Structure 1
């Protein structure tokens, strides 16, 4: 049976653009929510759908030509999920003018200077916000946007769905010349002062005489002293605590698991993380695990996310998984040796320890900063950067974390 892709009207433009660009043979239908039905499975995560469409086309190289590129693609796709998809206009504009514009200062495309799925996804997400890409504040983003609309949209006759945006790049402001401080004269400031006085005198001679104000008794009125405005106190500087230490990752034990009554792709788990009562956590893992493999197993839980409603059920955390770069596998993280841990044991990185936030402030973007650096290596061990994630046990021994088979996968 052919795959069926359902896309809500006027949303998920990045999915539609990918579908059109790769000339997918999946049947396209309008729907109330985004979902891909393929091989008896339902996928409702935009990035997973996009990777499926690419993997089942002749453009597989757009997911990355090698492992290093695949990892970069995965990091950028994770970024789009956190910072561009489903966020407000203010945050979109901030990303256009800062992160995206800065990256494109020295890059033609987002990954290794050739077209990848990252360019198509970001273009699709920004398409509705094209009027907010200003030449004065985001010239690099605008140049890139124009490149993609010509090489991807126009060249592939997709302008009916994605009308070309008129762009004028002639008014790009010249970069301001850096201010270089002059070296002080070796003999002191006298020479500089003399020069300043000389310039001042010349200026005074050339300038017309200043008008004198009204006088009393032949003496000019004293000018009133203007009080200097009181400068506001500087904002408190955030501590230099390592950002990873603000994330609260704990060992969890899934005591029970069942299908979400309102969503076929979601599980509702009761997970013991060392608290008085198990946490209720909702996860989109139905495609990847049968319910019997979810129950009575050790996992890692991001425990200080702000609770969120998932189709009517409040989820108080997230189980961490590694995803293959091509979207072919998603696997739960767990301790290398479960016999040495207990529910609630903390996960840390050596040299990056500190007090975790009680609840992560979404505006601080701590998780969004940490997540792109989380990955698995060739030995299936979970890393943050180049350091392993470690579980501190009651005995003081440390235990590493791993997955079953996903090598060099992103963790989220």
Structure 2
């Protein structure tokens, strides 16, 4: 008997996406229930069906080693039990909690590349993302936008079933400037004062209106002209044009700095998150609030008064109700059992705000990284530690530019051959 995949059109879009993305040649039929017929064997479990399809075409999507394969299996089990048949409110709850928290320090769900986990979760969440706000699940939406460009844009046969979702990654609301209302109030007060002054002037000039009608007309004309000129001048003020893209190395667009944690506390609304107050050299008395998912890896007392390395020009994002203004960089070992903060090798020679650079790849960092250009996602897979426990971008060490001119390297405590994020 030939191999046949039977899909329910409404509830099997994730498996259809896997089938199409892997370019599987297994014939597909529409049916009420999900099933796969292989050599007279009837398979109706989603995990087994996914594993079979992928193993026949793109086995690397199931993991390149035992650790990755185990992680893929764990995620697929979670997907089947908690996402595939869950109510909408439960899926959204998982997006806001488990998925968003996991992606806080990860580009993909497993390893530093696309796996079947990303494909399946994308297929399930595609129906939900149109109504989701970036501010509520910033990490999920950033991941979703990356994945849809990787798998949909490069595969025209998928666009009809999974059309690209327009996502404005800049749509994270900033706190309202406190002076905005004052300015409006000032303008209103100015208008009231002007009206009062005009009324006084009108009263004074009532007696002269007949004699000076022409002169007054000229004055009014001049006033109108003046107002028109002012309006024109205001209209002519346009925002500065975006700078022309240069050949500047992508990694140099990241603003990586030395930071000093002045204080740290647990997030009141998330057990896995810390809220740190970090000095990044922005100015005397100016400190950044940064939210990090490090509760599992560091006790609270070890997060106090310590040197760290931070990515300082990410667009601020809300992390469970708190605006995070950057990211502390950590290295995780290949088997996922350790996560360690990066720090300067010699803290006596650095100060908060000192920039990290890579020799031969210097450049001026972006003021704020444009999420759509994916500078961070492009270079992050090449951030790693080596056997010497030092931090590298490709083969270039992280170097801190100090006031003395002596470059200081960055290190972790024990992680060797780990990814940095």
Matches within 5 A, 1:25-104: 33-34=93-94, 45-46=101-102, 73-76=111-114, 85-87=140-142, 92-98=147-153
Q: Per the alignment, in what secondary structure is the counterpart of residue 74 of structure 1?
A: coil
In structure 2, the gaps of 5 or more residues are 1-10, 16-45, 48-71, 123-136, 165-241
Task: Give how far 1:74 is off.
Answer: 3.1
Task: Give how far 1:257 is off.
Answer: 0.1
Task: Describe the superposition over 1:73-96 as per-residue Cα deviations: whole angstroms up to 9, x where unpaired.
Answer: 43447x969999535987654322
Task: Give how far 1:373 is off.
Answer: 0.9
Contact 2:257 2:312 in 1 (8 A): yes
Matches within 5 A, 1:225-244: 238-244=245-251
Tell me how many residue pairs correspond in the alignment: 247
Alignment pair present for 1:335 and 2:344: yes
Per the normalisation by structure 2, the TM-score is 0.50
Alignment pair present for 1:266 and 2:289: no
Contact 1:43 1:265 in 2 (8 A): no
Task: Give how far 1:244 is off.
Answer: 1.1
| Equivalent position of 2:328 in the other structure | 319
In the alignment, which of 395, 413, 418 is matched to residue 404 of structure 1?
413
Task: Give how far 1:131 is off.
Answer: 2.0
Distance in structure 1 (CA, Å) of the matches to 2:105 and 2:396:
31
In the alignment, which of 259, 274, 277 is matched to residue 252 of structure 1?
259
Contact 2:99 2:140 in 1 (8 A): no
In structure 1, the gaps of 5 or more residues are 1-9, 54-62, 64-72, 103-125, 135-234
Alignment pair present for 1:373 and 2:411: no
Contact 1:244 1:352 in 2 (8 A): yes
Distance of aligned partners of 1:390 and 1:354 in 2 relative to their CA distance in 1, 3 Å threshold = same
Distance in structure 2 (CA, Å) of the matches to 1:245 and 1:397:
19
Distance in structure 2 (CA, Å) of the matches to 1:89 and 1:332:
27
Task: Describe the superposition over 1:316-341 as per-residue Cα deviations: whole angstroms up to 9, x where unpaired.
Answer: 00000011222211110011111111
| Equivalent position of 2:68 in the other structure | none
Task: Describe the superposition over 1:180-233 as per-residue Cα deviations: whole angstroms up to 9, x where unpaired.
Answer: xxxxxxxxxxxxxxxxxxxxxxxxxxxxxxxxxxxxxxxxxxxxxxxxxxxxxx
In the alignment, which of 344, 348, 361 is matched to residue 353 of structure 2?
344
Per the normalisation by structure 1, the TM-score is 0.51
Distance of aligned partners of 1:22 and 1:48 in 2 relative to their CA distance in 1, 3 Å threshold = farther
Q: Per the alignment, in what secondary structure is the counterpart of residue 415 of structure 2?
A: coil
Contact 2:152 2:162 in 1 (8 A): no
Task: Give how far 1:301 is off.
Answer: 0.8
| Equivalent position of 2:7 in the other structure | none
Q: Per the alignment, in what secondary structure is the counterpart of residue 132 of structure 1?
A: coil
Distance in structure 2 (CA, Å) of the matches to 1:49 and 1:393:
28
- Coordinate RMSD, CA, aligned: 4.2
